[in-house]
Amino acid sequence: MLPAVHFGVWHKIADARSAAPDAAGVLQTRAEGVMDYRVGRSAMVFYACSEPDETLRRFVEGRGARQIERAVSAGARWIRFAESPSPRVELDRLLKGFVERFGSLPISNASGGRRVAPADGDEA
């Protein structure tokens, strides 16, 4: 089992390109206030990851730019990053934990069609 990642400080989402590290990893965005989810409330809007051979900076500047714009449209105003050698594994862990706690994916992930990977032995 991989150790949990440690997210850095929050940055204004407009500063995402300059704040993103030159390493692979995951990111999360949040709104100013909390939103209602199926079970409880959270300010989290979106989680994403780079590929293992892609830096978060390259992700934010390239293929992730449109996803981050959609998150802004859904209310995201802040972004933070965590380096990880296994970004997809970490993203799946974060999304699964979010669904377990709040009953659904973060609002901007739910509209992106990404499903949470089932745990070993669980059915999809």
The tens digit of pLDDT for each residue in 17-76 reads 999 999 999 999 999 999 999 999 999 999 999 999 999 999 999 999 999 999 999 999
Q: Which residue has the higher pLDDT, 47 or 118?
A: 47
Q: Across residues 6-25, what is the average pLDDT?
A: 97
Q: Which CATH homologous superfamily contains domain 11-110? A: GIY-YIG endonuclease (3.40.1440.10)
% the chain with pLDDT above 70: 87
Provide CB contacts within 8 A for 79, sequence distance 6+.
10, 11, 12, 13, 15, 16, 19, 27, 28, 29, 30, 68
Reported in sequence order, the residue ranges of 60-111 that DSSP labels E, i.e. its strands, are 78-83
Q: What is the pLDDT of residues 63-117, one digit of tens each?
A: 999 999 999 999 999 999 999 999 999 999 999 999 999 999 999 999 754 444 4
Q: Which residue has the higher pLDDT, 123 or 54?
A: 54
- Name the residue with tokens 């990880």: 84
What number of other Cβ atoms are within 10 A of residue 90's Cβ? Answer: 21
Provide CB contacts within 8 A for 18, sequence distance 6+.
none
Confidence class of residue 3 from pLDDT cuts 50, 70 and 90? low
- The pLDDT value recorded for residue 66 is 96
Confidence (pTM):
0.86
- The pLDDT value recorded for residue 1 is 52
For the chain, domain boundaries = 11-110
